[in-house]
Structure 1
């Protein structure tokens, strides 16, 4: 988008350079031209990538099962689900429709909050929800800014599906045994990278606190916003759960020698590239989630780890194999379900982290050992 590119160039000329985090923030979240605030189709066949809810509705139905169990663990009190960034509303629609039909008692105690700043996406979500005749009082829309969420405290569950990976990151590298930050400059023809001193003391603290030691020439991404986001989640979650579904891993796996170039990627028309500075505002930019950071940052704000597993494990524990049996003669559906589980698709690359607050030792079906699932199906 030429207008956004012009804004980025002007910002660089004014400051001399900008951090990659500022470049990414502008490219994705500029209120008028940013990727996530545009009318561009982002997800699905006409977009740039697929997510679990776009593959098959069973994803939302299985999440609904887990949410209903959480509600029962919380003694069937009024329960709010807060979804961060609902795109067109597929996941929201699948969850609500399943709860409406399968759990009428839960539906009566249930409210869905969509956190969405894009007016175009909000309208798409409203139209989709109207198609399943959801009562107006069951859904509300709110926003999230650096000051936090725009709603009051809740009892219930926050749900983040592919949100954390798109939070802006700083890029660091070890060069001649000295830690440097990778900035974005402009040479008169194109964006370019500039290595210089680290911009924030918090970046040094992040590496030291988390005991991260880079090899010579290794590049890494640091997401400082994730800890602030979890702090705001905890401020609004009086009692309940946080479900984070995203691609990434624990720290020991993210920083091994095979990740020397970092995990930053761009998605455009269902292709993956590392052309970070091409098409600003027209392609997604993401980095793998450091789940160790989410676990540790959560503990510091009273969000205790309930469990951390691969997406395939989570879905199998909630009953997706039963759906395989139900659809074994439907090739198209079976292939879609396999995509949610396959190690080279979404099954192992995507992880599920569940955290809880003010609930003592919750035991969730989605986190149960797979051995118990196998035994119960015999």
Structure 2
């Protein structure tokens, strides 16, 4: 059973397109996080501070900085996915990335003043960007691997040769998307982004727009983690673009002072639900640190409390261990599910502030992460304290059983 699951997960996580998608999304994270910082500063929940920013005329510039970073994630991901996939194929990644950008812009509708709708350059353009980057790179690779390129003499500088080599595959790539654009236009479809959202994004959004859907995602991630496989890397390429779309929708609403539309966002899952990392092991690390009687667990508690506080769960996952430990399945799965349910309903009932769309670095310690993700609201920190205490109660009987067994063995020796 273990070998079968590990083989299936290995095939999924090593699939070249999913690797390119995962690495492409990771490449965009610095811009997303930087944009979140500017957005939080511009809309920090201290009326006097935000009024001061507005009076001196720089609040709009902070918002513009957020829109220029977080707000172009669609463009960024389009380039970086193509770049990473081309690197895998060992063809010119820069040319593949630029051709994907050109194709993406070609498919994006133009406003009457010849501008581009900002939402499609951002998270709303993610799915078109993903499709365009993967297909464009495949076309580019097809021509390059068969030497269907313009070759220059050896005396020509390499950068010039690469540029000319990209002309023929680039022409066919742009022509391919040009024909797609014409066909959809004559079919009465003038917005390919909306079409893709209806065909792909909307059905998948069941996973990230509904409570049962996100609970299923949590189950899947925990299932793979229990076999020693990084659950987020397996599910990430599918769900993270959708979660980031939800976060960006909240960011735009927050900046405009409107009602936040989404509870389930990127930061809801990775900051609020998985406190301390997979399985909510922050709670287990605290139990190890405070209540261990066996020497083994005492040492592990001292070694793990600091890294787990910064969301690095591996010391507990592999040191306790929780991985491949059938005795720990119940608390490992139950803790994030209970955390998700409590946090979701607390936000739905208005007891806790929703995530404002500020994507917090995954290494941010719990409580601080909740405070920042909720836009500087104390309720975001309080709910994390409550859920960590509840997770400690869930883990305690299983921790105590393990600690007693280890203590007996140590005394016997």
TM-score by length of 2: 0.21
TM-score by length of 1: 0.22
**Greater radius of gyration (CA):** 2
User: Which structure has greater strand proportion?
Assistant: 1
Structure number with greater CO (CA < 8 Å, separation at least 6) is 1
